[in-house]
Structure 1
Amino acid sequence: MKMHACVTAVALGAGVAASQPLAAAEGLIEGSSATLQARNYYFSRDYSDIVGPNKQSKAEEWAQGFILNVQSGYTPGPVGFGLDAIGTLGLKLDSSPDRVNTGLLPLGSDGKAADNYSRLGVALKAKYSRTELKVGELQPNLPVLAFSDIRLLPPSYQGASLTSSDIPGLTLQAGHLTSTHLRNEGGDEKMIAMLGYQPQRQASSDAFNYAGGDYEFNAKRTRVSLWYGQLQDIYAQRFIGLKHSQPVGGDWVLGANLGYYDANEDGKHLLGNIDNRAFFSLLSARHGGHTFYLGYQGMYGDSAFPRVFANISPLGNEVPTYEFASTDERSWQVRYDYDFAALGVPGLTSTVRYLSGDNVDTGKGFEGRDHERDIDLGYTLQSGPLAGLNVRVRNAVARSNYRTDIDENRLILAYTWKLF
């Protein structure tokens, strides 16, 4: 799938919009909304059998974050105009030069974490029917560029995006991004790639381009996806995906999440040749409060899985600590979720999972192997003055014979106020 073909598809979707009746104008002020989230985050990683030049034995920090999201409505008329704003503030509560690099706080040239950092970004938007153009601060969430809000504050990108959903069931998107704001920084910078778990800081790109779409049908139980992403002069990546949910016998719901990526070098080949094909499958079965998962993931080709730093990906076996996306890696996952609402305790959820990978081409003359065990607990208060407060606890143990071992703990408290 070529980039210009995807952009043409989005443009056709926008053209169809011209034949659709316009939605009633909601008003610039009348249609506006704003939320403020307070997020308290403790993050700890203990390292052993350290591999690589960084011999720091522990990363441990505690911070308080605030995330303001303001979205305006649209001005009346055939084309409505509006403005969105994202404001973030991070405050250091605890850190030390020998425990930095958790991803919660910026690191200064003196080796110490900053006391605070902040950012305000805005995006202009224009809408006709159900086709919308945004220019400015963006937070896309795509198979080729997943929204990675996994630390104190969310990341963002700067550029332009076009989204059209005028065709029933079909959502088309395209975009051109020129820089990124990382999750633990206040400013902008050029984008770099990750191959597997290793950042490739020796080369940076001036742009990330994407285009693609998702089509839902079968009463929204089935979704097919086709996407293209290009980190200019570094790599180009294509994705095809299928998600399906099927009720069985009235008591069970079976699910399937399948995806295939294909990537190669792009343009000036700033990181040399890239050759990766990735397949993942995650099957599920839900009954009452129980959900069981079984996943398989395989990397093929001469390279690890490429992505934009420091993003996660929708790979089925990517988890908080290890990615299981190294060169030639094959991995399996078993997972069990339970929603305690089935026992009369709404708001309490749990996840236990185990993953094992092997067949890694380490380039060092031996086969790489790794495994990880995760336990997650979450609870959202249902009543009282703190109703809506969410508390999450995570413990992870990850072991490998070719990369650093990790023992990880996280404690996250989040509360969101609806301002208007």
Structure 2
Amino acid sequence: MSRLHRVFAGWLAAGLSVAVQAEEAGFIEGSHADLQLRNYFFSRDYSGIVGSNPQSRTQEWAQGFIFDFRSGYTQGPVGVGVDVLGLYGIKLDSGRGHTSSGLLPVHDGRAADEYGRMGAALKARVSRTELKVGELRPNLPVLVHSDLRLLPPTYQGAALVSSEIQGLTLQAGQMRSTSLRDSTDRQEMYGLINDPVNPARIARFTSDRFNYLGADYAFNTNRTSVGLWQAQLQDIYQQRFYSFKHAEPIGDWTLALNAGYFDSRDEGRSIAGKLDNQATFALLSARHGGHTFYLGHQRIDGDDGFIQVGANTNPMGNTLPTYEFSAPGERSWQVRHDYDFAALGVPGLTSTLRYVTGDNVRTGRGYEGKDWERDLDLAYVVQNGLFKGVGLRWRNVTARSNYRTDIDENRLIVSYTVSLF
């Protein structure tokens, strides 16, 4: 606990130091700091194991702390500020042979007792354009913020966002390194490809340049938007992404479409070899009262499965936290139902039930690959009383395949955010 106290003291000192400087500059009103407490239990059982890893179970329990300080901006034509992020995780339960859940670092087959890291980003704003340099958590179609475990991954680099023209948002940036969700180190970025024969095929090739440029334009009173993005993991792959979103109210219903197309190829010196992938997805939704119904389709074309920065996820409609449904040649369908129990007088309680099935996978083993996954999510945020604001979330997963390992999974997450100032 003394170590924990020292960590928090350092975070608070950094935040308060920035706040004092901000007050001298006259923008303390724009500063705030939060501390999120996240208790995470992860259990995954494997059967019909495919591959060289014989591990039959992953099970770990950990406590995380996320300190997030964001200053306001100095006065004047160029506003300057700083963001501070502190991350700290503690092992509550783990054992040899049950590690590698993504919650905790692993050394010599054992999970670390504790780990943490701290970073800061300088920021400057002119009009409606902002530049950040330092520790970043980008959430982009070509680099999704995968906050799916105890602590979030971060990147080190520069990001520019401009909204000078009504409805148009322009973004550009370069990431130079990353700190993974279960690591304290900075490292170069690697490519991840959905390859049934060799999933780690391009993971050993790394780059210290991830460049991106993107534009999103919203119109029709923000009910319609289109996007165009270009990304490059230097000397490994380049990727273009086109998106279309629309929402249409019809009586008591709201119908919506989220569709996108990725085109990915090898780039520069092509150190990971020739790459070729095209991925198309469409997710239709219909919302009425507390109900939202979804129907999704996803199609993978080209010589390879979907390509992205590891260890990350992507914004495609049928991508789930367990199976991705993005192997070479795969065609997948999704049905999903979300419900907000506030419609029944129980605010704070929500549920998600979804089923995805895929086929036509080129397994490289002489037969067609097929897979399916069923997810159930239940979440509740306490609305009143002593525990107001405490969030509880349970995820239960069953995933089956004829070419990859079967999975049964449970996650239980308890979270609470304290507003410090």
Residue pair 1:176, 1:210 contacting (<8 A) in 2 also: yes
Aligned position for 2:419: 418
Task: State the Cα distance separating 1:29 from its structure 2 match.
Answer: 2.1
Aligned position for 2:284: 283
Question: Aligned letter for 1:176?
Answer: Q
Matches within 5 A, 1:1-400: 27-108=26-107, 110-196=108-194, 198-199=199-200, 200-249=202-251, 251-400=252-401
Task: State the Cα distance separating 1:206 from its structure 2 match.
Answer: 1.5
Task: State the Cα distance separating 1:276 from its structure 2 match.
Answer: 0.3
Distance in 2 between the 1:220 and 1:202 partners?
A: 42
Residue pair 1:140, 1:147 contacting (<8 A) in 2 also: yes
Question: Aligned letter for 2:136?
Answer: L
Task: State the Cα distance separating 1:30 from its structure 2 match.
Answer: 2.3
Distance in 1 between the 2:313 and 2:390 partners?
A: 26
Map Cα deviations across residues 120-177 of structure 1 (whole Å, 9 max, x no partner).
0000111101101111001111100011000000011000111101111111000011
Map Cα deviations across residues 159-197 of structure 1 (whole Å, 9 max, x no partner).
011110111111100001110010011111011111026
Identity of aligned residues (%): 61
Distance in 1 between the 2:119 and 2:139 partners?
A: 17
Q: Which runs of 4+ in 1 moved over 3 A?
A: none
Question: Aligned letter for 1:290?
Answer: H
Aligned position for 1:401: 402
Distance in 2 between the 1:57 and 1:260 partners?
A: 36
Unaligned runs of 5+ in 2: 1-24
Residue pair 1:27, 1:73 contacting (<8 A) in 2 also: no
Distance in 1 between the 2:364 and 2:207 partners?
A: 26
Task: State the Cα distance separating 1:201 from its structure 2 match.
Answer: 2.6
Task: State the Cα distance separating 1:28 from its structure 2 match.
Answer: 3.6
Distance in 1 between the 2:224 and 2:118 partners?
A: 38
Question: Aligned letter for 1:220?
Answer: N
Question: Aligned letter for 2:168?
Answer: L
Task: State the Cα distance separating 1:220 from its structure 2 match.
Answer: 1.1
Distance in 2 between the 1:408 and 1:27 partners?
A: 50
Task: State the Cα distance separating 1:214 from its structure 2 match.
Answer: 1.0
CA RMSD of aligned residues (A): 1.1
Task: State the Cα distance separating 1:293 from its structure 2 match.
Answer: 0.4
Distance in 1 between the 2:218 and 2:348 partners?
A: 29
Question: Aligned letter for 1:83?
Answer: V
Q: Would you say how many aligned residue pairs link Structure 1 and Structure 2?
A: 394
Distance in 2 between the 1:90 and 1:291 partners?
A: 35
Task: State the Cα distance separating 1:31 from its structure 2 match.
Answer: 1.1
Distance in 2 between the 1:403 and 1:173 partners?
A: 37
Q: Judge which range, 56-65 or 189-198, deviates more.
A: 189-198
Task: State the Cα distance separating 1:217 from its structure 2 match.
Answer: 1.1
Task: State the Cα distance separating 1:202 from its structure 2 match.
Answer: 2.0
What SS is found at the alignment partner of 1:202? coil
Task: State the Cα distance separating 1:391 from its structure 2 match.
Answer: 0.3
**TM-score normalised to structure 2 length:** 0.92
Task: State the Cα distance separating 1:346 from its structure 2 match.
Answer: 0.3
Question: Aligned letter for 2:319?
Answer: E
Question: Aligned letter for 2:119?
Answer: G
Distance in 1 between the 2:170 and 2:267 partners?
A: 24
Map Cα deviations across residues 216-275 of structure 1 (whole Å, 9 max, x no partner).
1111111111101111111000000011111002x1000100000000001111111110
Distance in 1 between the 2:167 and 2:276 partners?
A: 33
What SS is found at the alignment partner of 2:29? coil
